[in-house]
Structure 1
């Protein structure tokens, strides 16, 4: 157990409750009835009504962890990886937990760190347009353990490029489209909307680097992607381009056409075509944009939300 705790303590500042006449944390006594409530809550959570003496110690409060150490879990959208602060028993800024809670929290930490690492690797390699040989080999090994490509396509087919369907946009995009305040304008308009609307309209493969490879007509870029972005910018308070007119050219820069107000087909690729930020980045950089619904909690990127909704709509056979 000690060796396991040494590993856990690299992520969590863990302290052990004090014994003696009563259970204490930092000199503060935990009422006996609260001690047993913590035990019973965890037993109920695991669906256990009767327990033998060998397993009981796993359900008795034994440790405390700073609630701030749990921050990576507090902001997670996915319920299976999240922790609700209001459900923790706090004493002087520390959450009192059982050994069973500890292993549960630590497993969530491992999952979150793994997700963050995979996301960072994806973003690094997506910039070069193609994965490295080593990453490709790892991907092939993982793919061998997953359902067949045909099965995945049937379940989560990415629809062909076509007219944007705002009714299927995630809430963060809808909020940005409605206009935001001065503190959110740059992120909502330049970072989120520019990337989301362009990738949603073009529907490119993951390795894509130039929007011009998928949308040949500049009128489509100008009227179906840039125009809604400019309209959203005007709805901001104050209007985004009124005091920052250079940002209009910056929109095309983020679409990959360089700093220009009049994009031309041959200029596609002159600058980087910025990708849609993951949900975790939106949460950290612009929390007011994040108002997740049930589907949001199951995905990690606004673009995935949009394609999932489109795919479900197509499979349902609903007209329109």
Structure 2
């Protein structure tokens, strides 16, 4: 029988395992039990012994590598990560899950693509682990876990409103009667058996509900609770210093994730939140004014469009390519400074898409057309990509003034000393960058 904590590491059983683990300094030590269990996992094929995680820290990093490869690698091989589905490793897996939650919480924003990568991977790994459990046992453990997280077969759909609002679950996935979600077969038959005159009601239950909906609700609820857990850790970390081992793992993740993602050539922007070969460039982030920093960290639904499309797109492009726009009478195009558009594609757009991805919810998830608006504001017409042949179809939009930002995006305008005497964020950036560059000299 698979342990509840292997599916739901936030269960009471899972929390007890973490309490019993003890000294976190052991996270970096080689664990013979872990290595032995991995090497004897059925269907496991690792070509090089050096790729076997030998410590809990290694297992945590491998878990993130699995998430990235599963999502991005066209040549992904499940047999190299089969040990992640080995239920005998449930104790190690639970500890690793909590390590990652804490390390991610202190290193990344809650709405960052790194955090979402982990949360989404948690939902995926739950689905894969459930799929390996025989149907009879699977139904039993699903019911046990749903009860464990205070959910049963007669819950109100409103109890899942946070999950539905996060778009991890759709109302159309649910069978609802008088506000109750129908999950149990007895309840389904009582309500609907008379409706099926030419079909077997039991079969219809399996088609319409069965374990499929239960599994979906289960995985989405645990994803939601994982996000809430990370938020709580984030809040606590401002008052309580976490163990140095957790901090060290967080710092390693900060380097590992972008390096691992950069191996893949597919460009991701929006729902997945991960992009491969497009890399951030030479814009000096420490010189960004507060409104730009706040935009990049993520904007809520109320001001996402203006913040990304109007404010950041113009700022990032002019700050990188032509910061003296307000001191010039010239009419310029992006290609005047970036003839092959490589800077635009490899430095400017990644920053804009990063900020769009950090929005809550991510801007392109529900408004993918805003990608076209971004390209338009760069002067390349209403298209999904920058193309020199389309340049001039629209104008290259100049940065918003501080006055307009105060009016239209007041939540982002949090002036500091660098803003004194400034009427445009581009001017603020230029002055601060000059000061930083001079200090380096």
The TM-score with structure 2 as length reference comes to 0.35
Q: Determine which structure has the larger helix proportion and give its number.
A: 2
User: What TM-score, normalized by structure 1, do the two folds share?
Assistant: 0.47
